[in-house]
């Protein structure tokens, strides 16, 4: 989700990070989508980070540790 529609913060909402997801969504929408590209680049980087972690590392970092950004 982060790689495909990450500019809207959908992946953040799925992980349970409402504040971070809302931040990405509002930056994209309130800037009339001029900054959506920036949010999408951030999401692509996050998506790649998510994919390269082992399942245990992912759970430890993003579920238990609640690391919201990168």
pLDDT digits (tens, 9 = 90+) for 3-57: 999 999 999 999 999 999 999 999 999 999 999 999 999 999 999 999 999 999 9
**Helix (H, G, I), strand (E, B), or coil: what is residue 32?**
coil
- What per-residue confidence (pLDDT) applies to 30? 97
Structure tokens at 22: 């809302």
pLDDT higher than threshold 90 for residue 70: no
Q: How far apart are CA 50 and CA 54, in angstroms?
A: 9
Torsion sign (Cα): 16, 20, 25, 28:
negative
Length of the chain: 70
Assign 65 a pLDDT band (cuts: 50, 70, 90): very high
Give the other-Cβ count within 10 Å of 17's Cβ. Answer: 19
- What per-residue confidence (pLDDT) applies to 18? 96
């Amino acid at each position: 989700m982060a790689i495909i529609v990450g500019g809207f913060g959908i992946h953040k909402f799925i992980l349970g990070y409402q504040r971070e997801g809302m931040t990405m969504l509002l930056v994209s929408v309130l800037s009339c989508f001029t900054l959506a590209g920036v949010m999408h680049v951030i999401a692509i980087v996050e998506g790649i980070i998510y994919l390269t972690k082992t399942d245990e590392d992912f759970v430890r970092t993003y579920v238990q540790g609640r690391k919201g950004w990168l």
